[in-house]
Structure 1
């Protein structure tokens, strides 16, 4: 896995995506762990199968929340506080970000 990051985003520099190789077995393993966290929530007592009336947005938010929290608790995600604190805004969609050179 390539861990090189593009420069910090700022007013003059937009966010750039970090290339991710989906064929990398380590990346596949991390994705599987994230999906397991999301599935555990979906099927558990707080999930939509046991809690009636949840909106699609609540279901999506809950699954993503559990998946990321699961990876954070396992220590697989390190929060880049420099990148987080130096950004003036954050792109909300993956498809409108520039790939890193």
Structure 2
């Protein structure tokens, strides 16, 4: 990319939770391609499909330190994570959403 070309903003999420080893591997592989934001569920939600939390407030937390520094995690589903990113929580809307790597 030239200096005048903006790097893409890439949102990375998963359904296995922010502590899943596959998520960290994906982030490390994608990071050279653009600005990466990680928003993932606090816990494993494999098989949750397109579930959206409507019955309670969601909380968002940022990891401080370690190899997951800056990751955001949500006490909700994978769909909640992407919905939060796409509806104004982030200063800049992602250009691309990538999900995985599954356990």
| TM-score normalised per structure 2 | 0.23
Structure holding more strand per residue: 2
Larger radius of gyration: 1
Structure holding more helix per residue: 1
| TM-score normalised per structure 1 | 0.23
